[in-house]
Amino acid sequence: MPESKDPDEQFMKAALREALAAYERDEVPVGAVVVRDGRIIARGHNQRELLKDPTAHAEMIALTSAAEASESWRLDDCDLYVTLEPCPMCAGALVNARVRRLIYGATDPKAGACGSLFNLVQDRRLNHRMEMRAGVLEEDCSMLLREFFRAKRKTDPVE
């Protein structure tokens, strides 16, 4: 299969590598990268278990790192790629950071706030809206999550 020339797919592959790093640390495998001018400036993956922090989602870690690299909380010239549709907390952070564009892989029908349950990132009542593209490498992103939870059910059976 030829390598994709779609830059969104290339950056989503980088986010998938971050998700794999989370998977290898027994974290829910979600990964994110922040891109400015065609270059990754920040990376993140879920670290809730490691940090014992409910806010340690991939997006939050990547946004914090991007703000540090930019020396500004305003990321209006940045795009965020994440393997799973952001939750309300992360979607709110994307709006507050003024992210230009959100690109995500798998939808999250139970907690997604970018189209599934809500669409915070494009809500006209808020002070910022962003472009969004859903479903980039969706099957790859979904498969990693399915495998993680399948393995979890085998090792941690419900009693």
Q: Which residues are catalytic?
A: 59
Contact status, residue 145 vs residue 29, Cβ threshold 8 Å:
yes
**What is the amino acid identity at position 151?**
A
pLDDT at 129: 97
pLDDT single digits (tens) 2-57: 677 899 999 999 999 999 999 999 999 999 999 999 999 999 999 999 999 999 99
Neighbours of 80 (CB within 10 A): 31
* 126, 1 contact by CB (below 8 A): no
pTM over 0.75: yes
Name 37's Cβ contacts closer than 8 Å, sequence gap at least 6: 77
pLDDT tens digit string along 41-97?
999 999 999 999 999 999 999 999 999 999 999 999 999 999 999 999 999 999 999
